[in-house]
Chains A and B, each alone.
Chain A
Amino acid sequence: MNTVAVVHEHYAGHPSGIWRWVTTTNHKDIGTLYLCFSLLMFFVGGSFAMLIRVELWTPGMQLMDPEFFNEMTALHGLVMIFGAIMPAFVGLANWMIPMMVGAPDMALPRMNNWSFWILPFAFILLLSTLFMPGGAAGAGWTMYPPLFMQSGVAMPFQVFAIHLMGISSVMGGINIIATILNLRAPGMSLMKMPMFVWSWLITAYLLIAVMPVLAGAVTMMLMDKYFGTSFFNAAGGGDPVLYQHVFWFFGHPEVYIMILPAFGIISEIVSTFSRKPLFGYTSMVFAIASIAFLSFIVWAHHMFTVGMPLAADLFFMFTTMLIAVPTGVKVFNWVATMWRGALSFETPMLFAVAFVFLFTIGGFSGVMLALVPADWQYHQTYFVVAHFHYVLVTGSAFAIMGAVYYWLPKWTGHMYNETLAKWHFWLSVISVNVLYFPMHFLGLAGMPRRIPDYPVQFTDLNQIVSVGGFVFGASQLLFVACIILCVRGGKKAEARAWDGAHGLEWTLPSPAPYHSFAEPPPANLIWTRPYQAS
């Protein structure tokens, strides 16, 4: 919260104290709120993961009963997805997009305030289910019926929490699109926008298109349970498999909602620290757009084992593998951007390079999972857990951490402590691989996911995984330390904090003033952006 307080001293004229944060319509304040909230949720979801790893230290049941274990896996997923990763990206969008496109603020500032302040209530509702009779719903983050519908009183509360998160995301998406389409500075055409802005424009459309579908799916379950409908109730002629189709029609675009903004961030960072314009800007834009389009027609690759006709299996297998093409374009473009660049490896760049390596590992295991015959073996095993943690932790979360280090000087006016940040990076990148890499082997050896107990032969690998998990969890305290120290003080940051950085946000002083670009920036500033080289 202190991030902007530093700025605040110079710009009076708005309420102070807690009321300032409740009533604020300033995009920088709201961005800070989103980022702090997501950091808090990162630790809440992380502590659930720590409990899971403690329970899995040895075979047999030691710490908790199996029901509670299932509640932990379900809530860990929901909190990390909807509480940590998505709000972090929305926070970065709030902070950076208006400054990157030369706008004075978000297009709909009051709605912006709403879309943030719904979130704490949504998560209080979600986490309160832990204390309800019968406990929280232990049906995984996917909430498949009929198991989810047997969850007792927790179920409607979780459904309402999902509704609130959906409303918040849709409002955030509308706001971001309105800002990008209506408030760009004169002279900034769509194809001159920074890559982060492009990635968010497309992500926002995905949010608006699929969050309501999830709301519909959980509403149907609510109606099945309380109003006697039979959407998914087999006894009444419904079909539980239908839920999986509706859910994954949301769920697959959702995974791109969580990675496309990361692509944007990595494009910014790699270009800055290679001191070169981004290679293949246009192809990057089209790659993001085609990934977004493909995300709508691949959903059933999450459910190859439900018994679809062969033709459907083949269709979903081929379209899924097709996604590797635009994704490959992006990876190669990042590598080409670094090629013969004047590289330097400050912490944001370290996270970006680690992203390119490790996200690609997650991408490869994704292609393996896309193969129908192979998927029948991998399905519901730790191989899947390894896959999506490589894309979500070393993918999305690493991109977010890189972005925080990259833009902290702009937010606080101070440089962060590079030594401490490097410790954070190296501890994280080593432990994260100790944590997730052995999961591939566990999965191939046949260990199912979402179980609190396992056969003895998996003990060694599980202990390695748990050690990696504890170290990774503890390393994140260094991240918090870096942020707090940077807010409190440190070397004064220049307006252009990184010598290779381009873009309108770096033409503003550091820390960025509370109100920026009240008048649109002159068009010649936009032309200095690196994408126009050659």
Chain B
Amino acid sequence: MSTEQPRRVKHRKLAAGLLLLSVAMFGFGFALVPLYNALCRLTGLNGRGVESVAAAYAGEVDYNRSVLVQFVATTGSGLPFEFRPEVGSLRVHPGELHAANFYAANRSSTRIRAQAVVSYAPGRAARFVHKTECFCFQQENFAPGEVRHLPVKFYLDPSLPRDVQVVTVAYTYYNVSADGTRAEPSD
């Protein structure tokens, strides 16, 4: 058939184009990662875009309102730790510098390197929580059975939206010692 040849070419062209589209969409799946991170930085979602080094203390205090700050501590799987806040919650004025301690105890007989990751609820409060000191800024080494009282010093930015009356600060401690799990220091 004389029409056979151009038809084949037509099929190949279309199929190649569609195949290219599917490869591009595979790449798009991966491109969603930086896209998501950029979006989170922009909106302060998940506490991203918040400075990851100790914040300087600004010093202005808003005595006209108080906000309840709650602390939550959990351990990731594979971390044989007892980990809890020593104070469950604090009522603070925005701008006031406060300290809270976390109790962490290595319940195993091995040396463990651990990294804490923080997250906030509601998410939009994340960029208004400033920490001047935090155990989550670096990885910590725990000797077998070692108990530590880990300090966090923080203040709430006085420009925190007025309808946010409760801020939850949640720490998850992860085991980053043995199996080569890479970890970046959190903010």
Contact A236 B183 (CB under 8 A): yes
Q: How far is the CA of A83 from the CA of B7 in the complex (A)?
A: 33
A217 at the interface (CB under 8 A from B): yes
B36 at the interface (CB under 8 A from A): yes
A108 at the interface (CB under 8 A from B): yes
Contact B36 A107 (CB under 8 A): no
Q: How far is the CA of A246 from the CA of B76 in the complex (A)?
A: 23
Q: How far is the CA of A175 from the CA of B123 in the complex (A)?
A: 45
B141 at the interface (CB under 8 A from A): no
Among A170, A175, A177, A245, contact of B36 (Cβ-Cβ < 8 Å): A245
Residues of chain B within 8 A (CB-CB) of A242 are: 32-33, 36
Q: A177-B18, A309-B45 are in contact. Are A235 and B29 (CB under 8 A)?
A: no
Q: A174-B15, A178-B15, A235-B176 are in contact. Are A217 and B183 (CB under 8 A)?
A: no
Interface pick from A70-78, A226-234, A286-294, A326-334: A226-234
CB distance from A92 to the nearest CB of B (A): 21
Contact B26 A213 (CB under 8 A): yes
CB distance from A160 to the nearest CB of B (A): 15
Among A216, A230, A249, contact of B26 (Cβ-Cβ < 8 Å): A216
CB distance from B38 to the nearest CB of A (A): 12
Q: A170-B22, A234-B172 are in contact. Are A307 and B29 (CB under 8 A)?
A: no
Report the nearest B residue to A242, measured CB to CB.
B36
B162 at the interface (CB under 8 A from A): no
Report the nearest B residue to A209, measured CB to CB.
B25
B77 at the interface (CB under 8 A from A): yes
B164 at the interface (CB under 8 A from A): no
Task: Give the most central of A150, A211, A236: most B CB within 10 Å.
Answer: A236
CB distance from A21 to the nearest CB of B (A): 24
Q: A211-B22, A235-B174 are in contact. Are A241 and B29 (CB under 8 A)?
A: no
Contact A174 B18 (CB under 8 A): yes
Contact B184 A237 (CB under 8 A): yes
Report the nearest A residue to B172, measured CB to CB.
A234
Q: How far is the CA of A107 from the CA of B25 in the complex (A)?
A: 23
Q: A234-B117, A309-B123, A309-B124 are in contact. Are A216 and B29 (CB under 8 A)?
A: yes
Interface size range of chain B in the complex: 35 or more
Among A178, A246, A308, contact of B29 (Cβ-Cβ < 8 Å): A246
- Chain B's interface: helix, strand, loop or mixed, by majority? helix
CB distance from B119 to the nearest CB of A (A): 8
Contact A220 B30 (CB under 8 A): yes
Q: How far is the CA of A211 from the CA of B183 in the complex (A)?
A: 31
Residues of chain B within 8 A (CB-CB) of A234 are: 76, 117, 172, 174
CB distance from B63 to the nearest CB of A (A): 28
B 124-153 to A, binary, CB cutoff 8 A, 1 in contact else 0: 100000000000000000000000000000
Contact A178 B122 (CB under 8 A): no
A 140-184 to B, binary, CB cutoff 8 A, 1 in contact else 0: 000000100010000000000000000000100111011001100
Q: A173-B18, A309-B123 are in contact. Are A182 and B11 (CB under 8 A)?
A: yes
CB distance from A180 to the nearest CB of B (A): 10
A500 at the interface (CB under 8 A from B): no
Among A178, A211, A229, contact of B14 (Cβ-Cβ < 8 Å): A178
Residues of chain A within 8 A (CB-CB) of B77 are: 146, 150
Residues of chain B within 8 A (CB-CB) of A309 are: 43, 45, 123-124
A239 at the interface (CB under 8 A from B): yes
B50 at the interface (CB under 8 A from A): no
Q: How far is the CA of A236 from the CA of B33 in the complex (A)?
A: 14
Q: How far is the CA of A150 from the CA of B77 in the complex (A)?
A: 9
Q: How far is the CA of A150 from the CA of B76 in the complex (A)?
A: 12
A298 at the interface (CB under 8 A from B): no
Q: A235-B174, A235-B183 are in contact. Are A107 and B11 (CB under 8 A)?
A: yes
Contact B33 A213 (CB under 8 A): no
Contact A177 B26 (CB under 8 A): no
Q: How far is the CA of A175 from the CA of B18 in the complex (A)?
A: 10
A212 at the interface (CB under 8 A from B): yes
A5 at the interface (CB under 8 A from B): no
Residues of chain B within 8 A (CB-CB) of A122 are: none
Residues of chain B within 8 A (CB-CB) of A181 are: 14
B169 at the interface (CB under 8 A from A): no
A210 at the interface (CB under 8 A from B): yes
Considering only residues 411-445 of chain A, those with a C-beta below 8 Å from chain B are: none
Residues of chain A within 8 A (CB-CB) of B43 are: 309
Considering only residues 116-160 of chain A, those with a C-beta below 8 Å from chain B are: 146, 150
Residues of chain A within 8 A (CB-CB) of B183 are: 230, 235-237
Residues of chain A within 8 A (CB-CB) of B122 are: 307
Q: How far is the CA of A230 from the CA of B182 in the complex (A)?
A: 8
Q: A237-B186, A249-B32 are in contact. Are A212 and B18 (CB under 8 A)?
A: no
Report the nearest A residue to B122, measured CB to CB.
A307
Contact B124 A208 (CB under 8 A): no
Q: A108-B11, A239-B46, A249-B32 are in contact. Are A174 and B19 (CB under 8 A)?
A: yes
Among B25, B121, B172, contact of A208 (Cβ-Cβ < 8 Å): B25
CB distance from B135 to the nearest CB of A (A): 15
Q: Given A208-B21, A213-B25, list of 9 further CB < 8 A pairs?
A: A107-B11, A174-B18, A182-B11, A209-B21, A230-B181, A235-B174, A236-B181, A307-B122, A309-B43
8 contacts across the A-B interface (CB closer than 8 A): A170-B19, A174-B19, A178-B18, A182-B10, A212-B29, A213-B25, A234-B117, A242-B33
- The list of the 5 closest CB pairs from A to B, nearest first, reads A216-B29, A235-B174, A212-B26, A237-B184, A212-B25
